[in-house]
């Protein structure tokens, strides 16, 4: 079920009304959320419900067993059960065919031919997200940072919580699970904040991302027949497509959770205003970046083992992060490229220079900040080309055309539509302006976080009007494939 679908527009109000009719009974609320979440997830394919139920059951049982023993050998064994089950399921459904084909290609390179066989399976929606969410639960219990839940209903509802189930934010049990144990009362102001953030997320998805997708798909599918200048347009629009698509989903998820009295973590913090690549990764897909930091980078030693060890750990993190996004060498290369981007900052000890907002106490950035934001955006766009391309060779071919003399030609718009390009460009500018002036807030169109104002409602109605006038036909969210 898509957030931007007719089904969800019917599903959400029904669940919302039923949920608050049971606001005096915590168990009834959690039961309703669990049933609604399973309906939401099973809408794609009911067979995948068995996977999320099995994963939840394993981690619930492992968590409780971890609390019963102090024996280090048994505790490590229990943790390995959780790791092997969860990562095993992820590996089979997401990566088996990739490794099988790569294995066959390696033998073909040496003149041998083997047929490893392929599994005719569909990638379960959101498996990468809820797998990491359940793993964090058992790892935190193993580390002694979390007490296991004694209420299976709350735990199953936490794992399958429908607003953030299929594309994040990747929540930690330390933040979200306790909220299922607490009695929740309807808060009108918080619900209004949720509705406002949902509207903003839908604008970014339907008006920005989906209109960009229409142009991007045409350019990337036939890139060899376009000029370098046109390919630049395609790459820039893909940068805004993936941002509008993924951050839009996160905004809708966070806003929807607020309607039910839950607070999810911020997943995006205006990443395209970053002044270097380190700042970009502190602001892009925050829940995933911090997950890898806490559960992989720090356990590997982080930056405590000297420069060589730090570099090794950074490459491991970025490459695995790339591989997390998809079973394709393009994602691995994208991760590798971002690791290379990071090295100059590390060598100069500048990787933690920009920890605050750009132009924090000013309306406009200075020249140095402008240069930093522009150069970082260009590096990110180059990376997105590899992310979007079907193969690494295709990405390099795309870049070679950009670097040719055709870069100086007028961008080709015939067949794409000047009107579509114009509407998309104006919508992007509107989003950039709103986010720039609202960058000090979690959601840029919250004029007043305590109570709605006249201006805030005007902005919301204008965004809704733009949704109906310029919203593109329904398309899936990009990150559903991860």
Evaluate whether 262 touches 176 at the Cβ level (below 8 Å).
yes
Rounded to whole angstroms, what are the CA distances from 138 to 83, 84, 172, 180, 438? 9, 12, 11, 18, 38
Strand residues in 330-416 grouped as ranges (E):
none
Output the pLDDT for position 125: 80
Take residue 238 and report the two structure tokens written for it: 């893909």
DSSP 139-161: HHHHTTS-PPPS-HHHHHHHHH-
Q: Let me know if 325 is a catalytic residue.
A: yes
Q: For the chain, which residues score pLDDT lower than 50?
A: none
Q: What is the DSSP letter of 266?
A: P
120-136 pLDDT, tens digit per residue, is: 677 778 888 889 999 99
Evaluate whether 227 touches 412 at the Cβ level (below 8 Å).
yes
Measured torsion, CA atoms of residues 323, 326, 328, 332, in degrees rounded to the nearest 10: -30
Output the pLDDT for position 355: 87
Output the pLDDT for position 462: 86
Output the pLDDT for position 47: 84
- Residues constituting the chain: 482
Q: How far apart are CA 406 and CA 25, in angstroms?
A: 66
Active-site residue, from 113, 183, 325, 354: 325
Q: What is the DSSP letter of 163?
A: G
- Over the Cα atoms of the chain, what is R_g? 23
Output the pLDDT for position 466: 84
Output the pLDDT for position 109: 52
Take residue 35 and report the two structure tokens written for it: 């049933």
Q: How far apart are CA 134 and CA 55, in angstroms?
A: 8
**Per-domain residue ranges of the chain:** 6-186, 189-275+354-481
> Could you tell me if residue 183 is left (phi over 0), alpha (psi between -120 and 50 degrees) or otherwise beta?
beta
Placement of tokens 């994040």 in the chain: 168
């Amino acid at each position: 079920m898509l957030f931007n679908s007719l089904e969800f527009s019917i599903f959400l109000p029904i669940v919302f009304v039923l949920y608050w009719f049971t606001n005096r009974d915590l168990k009834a609320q959690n039961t309703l959320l669990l049933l609604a979440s399973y309906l939401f997830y099973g809408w794609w394919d009911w067979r995948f419900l068995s996977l999320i139920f099995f994963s939840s059951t394993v981690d619930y049982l492992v968590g409780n067993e971890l609390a019963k023993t102090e024996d280090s050998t048994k505790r490590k064994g229990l943790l390995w059960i959780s790791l092997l089950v969860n990562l095993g399921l992820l590996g089979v459904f997401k990566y088996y065919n990739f490794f099988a084909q790569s294995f066959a290609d390696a033998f073909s390179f040496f003149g041998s031919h083997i047929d490893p066989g392929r599994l005719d399976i569909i990638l379960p929606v959101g498996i990468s997200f809820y797998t990491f969410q359940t793993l964090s639960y058992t790892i935190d219990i193993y580390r002694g940072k979390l007490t296991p839940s004694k209420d299976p209903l709350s735990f199953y509802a936490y794992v399958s919580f429908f607003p953030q189930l299929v594309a994040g934010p990747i929540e930690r049990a330390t933040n979200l699970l306790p909220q299922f144990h607490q009695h929740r009362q309807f808060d009108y102001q918080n619900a209004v904040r949720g509705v406002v953030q949902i509207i903003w997320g839908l604008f970014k998805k339907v008006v920005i991302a989906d209109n960009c997708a229409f142009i991007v798909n045409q350019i990337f599918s036939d890139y060899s027949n376009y000029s370098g200048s046109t390919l630049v347009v395609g790459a820039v629009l893909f940068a805004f497509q993936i941002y509008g698509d993924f951050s839009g989903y996160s905004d809708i998820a966070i806003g929807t959770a607020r309607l039910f009295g839950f607070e999810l973590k911020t997943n995006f913090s205006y990443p395209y205003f970053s002044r270097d690549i380190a700042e970009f990764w502190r602001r892009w897909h925050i829940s995933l970046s911090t997950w890898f930091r806490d559960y992989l980078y720090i356990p590997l030693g982080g930056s405590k083992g000297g420069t060589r060890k730090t570099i090794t750990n950074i490459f491991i993190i970025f490459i695995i992060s790339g591989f997390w996004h998809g079973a394709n060498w393009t994602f691995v290369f994208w991760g590798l490229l971002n690791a290379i981007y990071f090295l100059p900052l590390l060598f100069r000890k500048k990787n933690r220079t920009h920890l605050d907002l750009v132009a924090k106490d000013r309306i406009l950035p200075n020249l140095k900040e402008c240069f930093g934001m522009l150069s970082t955006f260009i590096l990110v766009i180059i990376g997105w080309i590899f992310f979007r391309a079907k193969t690494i060779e295709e990405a390099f071919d795309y870049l070679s055309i950009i670097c040719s003399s055709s870069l100086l030609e007028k961008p080709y718009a015939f067949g794409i539509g000047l009107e579509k390009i114009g509407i998309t460009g104006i919508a992007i500018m509107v989003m950039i302006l709103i986010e720039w002036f609202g960058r000090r807030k979690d959601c840029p169109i919250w004029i007043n976080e305590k109570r709605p104002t006249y201006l805030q409602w005007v902005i919301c109605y204008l965004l809704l009007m733009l949704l109906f006038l310029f919203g593109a036909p329904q398309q899936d969210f990009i990150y559903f494939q991860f």
